[in-house]
A and B are shown apart, each in its own frame.
Chain A
Amino acid sequence: MTKLLIENLSKSFGESQVLNQLSLHVKEAEFVSILGPSGSGKSTLFQLIGGLYSPDSGEIRLDGKRINGKTGSISYTPQSPSLLPWRTVLGNILLGGELVGETDEAAALDMINKAGLKGYENAYPYELSGGMKQRVAFIRSLLSPQSLICLDEPFSALDEFTRLEMQNWLLSVWEEDKRAILLVTHNIEEALYLSDRIIVLSEKPTQVKKEFIVPFPRPRQAALLLSEEFLHWKKKIYNELRVIM
């Protein structure tokens, strides 16, 4: 079943056309990555899905309902953790649900324990490391009641070790409770390791250039990253992107 359906989406800011007749979809319980060169309108696409702007033309549908220009339909994790500094870890995690009127403290505490943040429930963000903050931001969006999770380069500010650890953690959480995830990234390895399907975007005005279905079985292990097949795929996508860049 299709969770998110985007059809012929176009958007211009003044003179420059950012999106041109872009179409894509995300199925129920599917992990889709959007890969594109920087400045390819990835952020604009997210802002349209998030409802911050309305598209010039085209449709955005979530569960069949039109959500053009409507905020609050998705759960969102930004590039930086964006935690409210005056809220504790627990308070921040509850925020996502609070905004739409549903909070579940027991689930939040349970998730905090599972994420290895036990004992930090009442800590303020300034007391946490970068990886921990990002983990809190993930939990916040995982516990938001919306059914589609949009991740906007959430690993890009982390160091290599923390990143792999966080990716594995995210996969393990996601495999327990499969929800539709749309991830924007510029990291090929990350897209391959995490997703079921990869959508490569063109330069501006942005369209879908190519789509790859990732064949690796789940659950995935870190060892996959060094396998022959993985490298082969990485090369294939890299070549696709190189034409653009």
Chain B
Amino acid sequence: MKIWYKGWRPALVLILLFIIWEVSCRLFEIPKWLLPSPTQILLEGAAGWPNYYRHLTSTIGLAIIGFLIGSSVGIAVAIGLHLIPKLREALYPIIILSQNIPIIVLAPLLVIWFGFGILPKLIVITLVCFFPITVAALDGFRQTSSELMHYMKMAGALKKQIFWKLEWPYALPSIFSGLKISATYSVMGAVISEWLGAKEGIGVYMTLASSSFRTDRVFVAIFLIMVLSLVFFALIVSLERMIVKWKPKGDGKGRD
């Protein structure tokens, strides 16, 4: 109920935007290949389901596998860097640099190296996904309350116990922030990787549509990507609610 109560303002803006779009398209008689109106997009979206649904499932599969690999790598890297400070010193700058390589340039190279199979695609998604999680998790580990740390040490906790009983749970809310970002990135990453050359996927559907001037289908693809990202995001949020139960309800800052 609360989401409807809070959500009416952005919903209203969206609806207004669509109305302006629709009216302008009709008023100025913009051709469909240049800019289709929302109703045309909606009609194509409904009628074209048999055309794009296998593309959709393929992208969903790719994004999920990529996200799982990317987030596992991200968490593993964060744990490694946290537990071995010297490794962090050595590798942290390189990890940041890895994010400055434009994926769009790297992707064709990956195809040259690894072919057209699933591997270069998973590498692209992993590269996009792991960074937000690594950074968020590292921050989470480092922000562990010094009071609790002092208690754990005085009570005789070993390094392993301190990590699993204190630092890991303490960092969970941060890790979930990273996961939320990565979940939405994973869809983008999947689409970009499909541009490299794939048999199916939203990325393929989109390329085919734009090269044949089916602009309405391009917009269908855009909306599919947006909806998919939102669904992924919502899934992570509900997972977080299930796992992070110790925060006072309705208050984001229950960590003290």
Hey, which bits of chain A sit against chain B, CB under 8 A? 46-47, 50-52, 71-76, 78, 80, 82, 84-87, 95-96, 98-100, 124-126, 144, 146, 150
**Contact of B166 with A84 in the complex, beta carbons under 8 Å:** yes
Q: In the bound complex, what is the Cα–Cα distance between A78 and B155 (angstroms)?
A: 10
**Contact of A76 with B151 in the complex, beta carbons under 8 Å:** yes
**Contact of B155 with A124 in the complex, beta carbons under 8 Å:** no
Pick 7 A–B contacts, CB within 8 A, sort by A. Answer: A76-B155, A78-B147, A86-B169, A95-B165, A96-B155, A99-B158, A150-B154
Given A99-B161, A126-B247, A126-B254, are A50 and B148 neighbors across the interface (CB < 8 Å)?
A: no
Q: In the bound complex, what is the Cα–Cα distance between A4 and B49 (angstroms)?
A: 78
Q: Which residues of B contact A71 (CB under 8 A)?
A: 153-154, 156-157
**Contact of A82 with B156 in the complex, beta carbons under 8 Å:** no
- B151-180: which have CB < 8 Å to A? 151-158, 161, 165-166, 169, 172
Q: With A98-B165, A99-B152 given, can you name 9 additional A-B contacts, CB distance below 8 Å?
A: A50-B154, A52-B154, A72-B155, A74-B156, A86-B244, A95-B165, A100-B156, A125-B246, A150-B154
Q: In the bound complex, what is the Cα–Cα distance between A100 and B166 (angstroms)?
A: 15
Residue B245 at the chain A interface, CB threshold 8 Å:
yes
**Contact of A86 with B246 in the complex, beta carbons under 8 Å:** yes
Q: Which residues of B contact A124 (CB under 8 A)?
A: 245-246
Q: In the bound complex, what is the Cα–Cα distance between A24 and B8 (angstroms)?
A: 69
Chain A, Cβ-Cβ closest to B169: A86
Q: In the bound complex, what is the Cα–Cα distance between A173 and B170 (angstroms)?
A: 32
Q: Which residues of B contact A47 (CB under 8 A)?
A: 154
Q: Which residues of A contact B150 (CB under 8 A)?
A: 78, 82
Complex partner residue of B255 from A52, A85, A87, CB under 8 angstroms: A85
Q: Which residues of A contact B93 (CB under 8 A)?
A: none
Interface size on B, residues (CB 8 A): 23
Q: Which residues of A contact B7 (CB under 8 A)?
A: none
Q: In the bound complex, what is the Cα–Cα distance between A86 and B166 (angstroms)?
A: 9
Which of B156, B158, B166 has the most chain A CB atoms closer than 10 A to its own CB? Answer: B156
Residue B252 at the chain A interface, CB threshold 8 Å:
no
Q: In the bound complex, what is the Cα–Cα distance between A71 and B161 (angstroms)?
A: 13
Q: Which residues of A contact B152 (CB under 8 A)?
A: 99
Hey, which bits of chain B sit against chain A, CB under 8 A? 147-148, 150-158, 161, 165-166, 169, 172, 244-248, 254-255
Q: In the bound complex, what is the Cα–Cα distance between A82 and B246 (angstroms)?
A: 15
How far apart are A46's CB and chain B's nearest CB, in angstroms? 8
How far apart are B16's CB and chain A's nearest CB, in angstroms? 41
How far apart are B252's CB and chain A's nearest CB, in angstroms? 13
Q: In the bound complex, what is the Cα–Cα distance between A74 and B156 (angstroms)?
A: 8
How far apart are A146's CB and chain B's nearest CB, in angstroms? 8
Q: Which residues of B contact A125 (CB under 8 A)?
A: 246
**Contact of B169 with A99 in the complex, beta carbons under 8 Å:** no
Q: Which residues of A contact B166 (CB under 8 A)?
A: 84
Given A126-B246, A126-B247, A126-B254, are A82 and B153 neighbors across the interface (CB < 8 Å)?
A: no
How far apart are B65's CB and chain A's nearest CB, in angstroms? 30
Q: Which residues of B contact A72 (CB under 8 A)?
A: 155-157
How far apart are A195's CB and chain B's nearest CB, in angstroms? 21
How far apart are A184's CB and chain B's nearest CB, in angstroms? 12
Q: Which residues of A contact B154 (CB under 8 A)?
A: 46-47, 50, 52, 71, 74, 76, 78, 150
Q: In the bound complex, what is the Cα–Cα distance between A71 and B149 (angstroms)?
A: 13
Which of A73, A87, A95, A146 has the most chain B CB atoms closer than 10 A to its own CB? Answer: A95
Given A50-B154, A82-B148, are A126 and B248 neighbors across the interface (CB < 8 Å)?
A: yes
How far apart are B144's CB and chain A's nearest CB, in angstroms? 11
Q: In the bound complex, what is the Cα–Cα distance between A100 and B255 (angstroms)?
A: 27
Q: Which residues of A contact B246 (CB under 8 A)?
A: 85-87, 124-126
Chain B, Cβ-Cβ closest to A152: B154
Q: Which residues of A contact B245 (CB under 8 A)?
A: 86, 124
Q: In the bound complex, what is the Cα–Cα distance between A100 and B156 (angstroms)?
A: 8
Q: In the bound complex, what is the Cα–Cα distance between A144 and B161 (angstroms)?
A: 16
Q: Which residues of A contact B161 (CB under 8 A)?
A: 99
**Contact of B169 with A84 in the complex, beta carbons under 8 Å:** yes
**Contact of A99 with B147 in the complex, beta carbons under 8 Å:** no
How far apart are B249's CB and chain A's nearest CB, in angstroms? 10
How far apart are B241's CB and chain A's nearest CB, in angstroms? 14
Q: Which residues of B contact A144 (CB under 8 A)?
A: 155
**Contact of A84 with B148 in the complex, beta carbons under 8 Å:** yes
